[in-house]
Amino acid sequence: MTHTSMTNERAEQAASVVLAVAAVGVAVVVLRTPALRRLAWRLALTTLTGTLPTWVANEVRHAWSQSGSPQL
């Protein structure tokens, strides 16, 4: 039996597989548990209606100021 060391590329592949399996597992648990499903839905709505538009507006404002264009 030969011993080979793990390369950085193989380690990253293994980590990606572990993360993907964990994400699928969490998704299954959330979808099967009504309370978690409701919580996930509320968090998604909050993000889409509050946090995300605010972040986009701030990014656009920052990009506009960095572009050197006159303010409106």
Between 56 and 72, the more confident residue is: 56
Instruction: Give the largest CA-CA distance in the chain.
Output: 71
Distances (CA, A) of 56 to 36, 51, 52: 28, 9, 6
What's this model's pTM, rounded to 2 decimal places? 0.59
Place of tokens 């409701």: 38
Cα of 37 vs its chain's centroid, Å: 18
Structural domain contains residue 2: no
Residue 28 lies in domain: 8-67
When divided into structural domains, the chain yields a total of: 1
**Token pair belonging to 15:** 């980590």
Residue 72 lies in a domain: no
Question: To the nearest 10°, the Cα dihedral for 62, 63, 66, 70?
Answer: -90
Query: 32-62 pLDDT, tens per residue?
Result: 999 999 999 999 999 999 999 999 999 999 9
Q: Is residue 1 part of a domain?
A: no
